[in-house]
Structure 1
Amino acid sequence: MPTLFFNTSTLAYDFQNRYHQHISLEFANCADMQLTAQFELLTGLKINKQISIATRSEQEFFIEYGEISKIPFYIYANHNWNSVTVLWKSKSGRIYKLEDTYIDCDDIEFWFEELDVALIHRQMFPNIKLPFKLKDLSFELVVTRINMDATIQLQLKADQLNDAKRIELKIDDFIAGFNEKSEKKDRIHGVIHNWKTRIEGDKMIYDIDLGSTGPYFFKKLLPELSKMDHFIKVELC
């Protein structure tokens, strides 16, 4: 199965040749496993030959060690090179270094800073709005953009306007249920951090912090909204 680092031995050679820095295979493999899973979760994309991680130029390279350590990379996406920073910390308080060969993958945690999910989607699918397919929705779907801070506008059918608060509660229950199911599986699909709702005319507007879940949330939400059959149009903007 393809991973973000593609080949950790090649990465280690690149570090030595380009930066004169040693990165152990144990460190690289642990980072690769966690970052691959996180990237696929946040973007909804499976790693393929058009997606990988790459080293930056010698002038851009740095390592910062501390309670939170960091190092810069590129995310290669369909012939585009996106700057990103990889950070890590430990539960134990240990400061892991690149060259360490004893790595407890249950102790160390890796994550991305400055991962622009919306940009990567545009690069990978310039003419496609969603990274998954949906069929036979009961409303018109308009995808203007997908951001981690997302806004969803739901235009209610005329005969549903008086039931807006009841419909809002149904959607709130769905989001809470989504989080609960993910929590029970060690946050396998991430969680929604927070959301708020307002009603303007015939529209319900949700402002949602997608948190650690990414576009996967929409893959579950949109069919659920379709089953409710309360809406004329739903716009992700």
Structure 2
Amino acid sequence: MPTLFFNISTLVYDFQNRYQQNMSLEFANCADIQLTTLFELRTGLKINKQISIATRPEQEFFVKYEVVSQLPFYVYINHNWNPVTVLWKSKSGRIYQLEDTDIDCDDIEFWFEELDVALIHRQMFPDVQLPFKLKDLSYELIVTRINMDATIELQLKAERLNDAQKIELEIDNFISGFNEKSEKKDRIHGVIHNWKTRIEGDKMIYDIDLGSTGPYFFKKLLPELSKMNYFTKVELC
């Protein structure tokens, strides 16, 4: 299966050739496994030939070894080069360095400092609303944008206006259930950090911090809203 580092041997050689820095295969492998999983979770995209990690120009290179260490990369997305910083730390308190070969992948943790999910979607799918397909929804779906701080506007059917509080509870229970299922599987699909609701006229408006889950949450939520059959229109904005 394709991974974010695409060709680890080439990446290791690039570090030596461009930066005169030794990156061990062991370090690169641990980073690749974790960052690939994290990227696919946060974006909802599977790694393919249009997605990979790339080194930055020499003048942009740095490596900081601290309790939380860091290293700059580009994430290549469909002929676009997005700057990101990869961070890592250890559970044990050890400060791992690029050249270390005795890497405990269960001890070291990698993540991105910034990953602009909305931008990545626009770059990958400039003419497509969502990175997944939905069929036969019971409401009109409008996707204005997908951000990590998302707003969902749900327009209630006229006959459901008096049921707004009951419907809000159903949606709250769905979100809580989503978090619980993910928690039981070591947060495999991330969790929603927080959300709040308000009602304006015939609309229920959810402000949601997608936290560590990303678009995968919408892949589950939107069909569930369709099953409820309470809405004429749902907008992600």
Return the TM-score normalized by structure 1. Answer: 0.99
Matched, 1:134 2:134: yes
Q: CA deviation at 1:113?
A: 1.2
Equivalent residue, structure 2, for 1:208: 208
Equivalent residue, structure 2, for 1:82: 82
After TM superposition, the structure 1 = structure 2 runs for residues 123-162 of structure 1, keeping only pairs within 5 Å, are 123-162=123-162
Ranges in structure 2 where 5+ consecutive residues have no aligned partner: none
The 1-side partners of 2:212 and 2:129 are apart by 20
Equivalent residue, structure 2, for 1:97: 97
The 2-side partners of 1:200 and 1:18 are apart by 57
Deviation string for 1:9-62 (max 9, x for gaps)? 110000000000000000000000000000000000000000000000100000
Equivalent residue, structure 1, for 2:187: 187
Q: CA deviation at 1:195?
A: 0.6
**SS of 1:93 mapped into structure 2:** coil
Equivalent residue, structure 2, for 1:39: 39
Equivalent residue, structure 1, for 2:117: 117
Equivalent residue, structure 2, for 1:166: 166
The 1-side partners of 2:64 and 2:199 are apart by 46
The 2-side partners of 1:106 and 1:168 are apart by 40
Q: CA deviation at 1:226?
A: 0.4
Deviation string for 1:52-86 (max 9, x for gaps)? 00000100000111111000000000000000000
The 2-side partners of 1:204 and 1:70 are apart by 41
Q: CA deviation at 1:205?
A: 0.5
Equivalent residue, structure 1, for 2:224: 224
The 1-side partners of 2:211 and 2:23 are apart by 30
Ranges in structure 1 where 5+ consecutive residues have no aligned partner: none
The 2-side partners of 1:201 and 1:65 are apart by 54
After TM superposition, the structure 1 = structure 2 runs for residues 20-31 of structure 1, keeping only pairs within 5 Å, are 20-31=20-31
The 2-side partners of 1:184 and 1:231 are apart by 31
Equivalent residue, structure 2, for 1:236: 236
How high is the sequence identity, in percent, across the aligned residues? 84
**SS of 1:34 mapped into structure 2:** helix
Q: For residue 170 of structure 2, what is the amino acid of its counterpart?
A: K
Q: For residue 52 of structure 1, what is the amino acid of its counterpart?
A: S
The 2-side partners of 1:65 and 1:155 are apart by 51
Deviation string for 1:151-206 (max 9, x for gaps)? 10000011111110110000000000000001111111111111111111111110
Matched, 1:178 2:178: yes
Counting matched residue pairs gives: 237
Q: For residue 196 of structure 1, what is the amino acid of its counterpart?
A: K
Equivalent residue, structure 2, for 1:57: 57
The 1-side partners of 2:201 and 2:89 are apart by 47
The 1-side partners of 2:204 and 2:103 are apart by 48
The 2-side partners of 1:211 and 1:103 are apart by 29
Return the TM-score normalized by structure 2. Answer: 0.99
